[in-house]
């Protein structure tokens, strides 16, 4: 169990520059769906082996590595697949998700937050939170507060990841960009160590539009923040990270933009070295140059 008497520091999941260059590998049912899309019927053992391969290839370069307890956490930790310079982040979210569909809702994972769960080696826990403009907004703020409190009680960093979705029946009038900013104003004040946020405009805007959108988002966030890659094409992600960092972000915590197109490859180890490692190296160069160090926020 981490030492809860000492306040945790983002140094544990940061680069020497103060930037954050972290790999997400906590996908569960969605990873099964990605395998199926690639023509592979994957079982639990296949998911675990994929995650271990990603940890071996990308973990030594990353400042942090996020994984779930169901598929591979024990082996990543116990087999010491990550160097001491890479902080281990554990997903602490229980997902409400139909097979093949998006995550509909989340809660705190009672397994990870049980008193007897072994958190040895863990630097941070992460909560995915689905934000909607509906009657449960106050409940979600309370969930975020309970999460940050649970992390602090365990001497761990808290990574809060709101993902916005339209309220039921309001899909046609949903304004994603406004929702991302509103959620940030509402949720980034709960005391989290790090705020993980969707890229504005899906990273696709031309000209200065993306820079302006990222700056508007920065105005809404309290504390250090990083971007995720969900919804952003791999080819657009480096520019999206650069725009976010110019606006005040401290880096990224990304999965799909790094490794999605090697899912199902028979030559996985080679594919990771040829495709994913160069992508991660490029992103590291970007954040070391452009990111706002986490302790400058």
Q: What is the 3 state secondary structure string of the chain? A: CCCCCCCCCHHHHCCCCCCEEEEEECCCHHHHHHHHHCCCCCCHHHHHHHHHHHHHHHCCCCCEEEECCCCCHHHHHHCCCCCCCCEEEEECEEEEECCCCCEEEEEECCCCCCCCCCCCCEEEEEEEEEECCCCCHHHHHHHHHHHHHHHHHCCCEEEEEEEECCCCCCCCCCCHHHHHHHHHHHHCCCCCCEEEECCHHHHCCCCCHHHHHHHHHHCCCCCCEEECCCCCCHHHHHHHHHHHHHHCCCEEEECHHHHHHHCCCCCHHHHHHHHHHHHHHHHHHHHHHHCCCHHHC
Identify the active-site residue in 126, 196, 204, 282: 196
196 has catalytic annotation: yes
Q: Which residues are catalytic?
A: 196
């Amino acid at each position: 169990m981490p030492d809860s008497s000492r306040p945790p520091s983002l140094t544990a999941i940061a680069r020497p520059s103060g930037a954050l260059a972290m790999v997400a590998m906590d996908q569960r049912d969605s990873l099964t769906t990605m395998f199926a899309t690639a023509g592979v019927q994957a079982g639990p053992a296949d998911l675990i082996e994929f995650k271990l391969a990603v940890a071996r290839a990308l973990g030594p370069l990353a400042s942090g590595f996020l994984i779930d307890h169901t598929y591979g956490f024990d082996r990543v930790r116990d087999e010491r697949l990550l160097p001491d310079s890479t902080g281990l982040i554990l997903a602490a979210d229980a997902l409400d998700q139909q097979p093949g569909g998006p995550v509909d809702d989340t809660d705190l994972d009672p397994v990870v937050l049980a008193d007897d769960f072994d958190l040895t080696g863990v630097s941070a826990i992460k909560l995915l939170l689905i934000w909607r403009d509906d009657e449960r907004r106050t409940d979600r703020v309370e969930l975020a507060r309970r999460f940050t409190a649970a992390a602090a009680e365990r001497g761990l960093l808290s990574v809060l990841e709101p993902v916005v979705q339209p309220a039921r029946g309001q899909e046609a009038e949903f304004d994603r960009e406004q929702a991302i900013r509103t959620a940030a104003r509402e949720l980034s004040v709960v005391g989290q160590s790090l705020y993980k946020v969707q890229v504005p405009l899906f990273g696709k805007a031309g000209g200065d539009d993306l820079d302006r959108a990222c700056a508007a988002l920065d105005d809404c966030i309290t504390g250090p923040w990083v971007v995720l890659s969900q919804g952003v094409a791999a080819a657009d992600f480096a520019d999206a990270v650069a725009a976010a960092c110019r606006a005040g972000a401290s880096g990224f915590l990304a999965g799909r933009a790094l490794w999605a197109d090697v899912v199902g490859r028979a030559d996985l180890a080679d594919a990771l070295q040829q495709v994913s490692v160069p992508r991660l190296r490029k992103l590291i160069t970007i954040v070391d140059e452009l990111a706002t160090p986490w302790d400058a926020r």
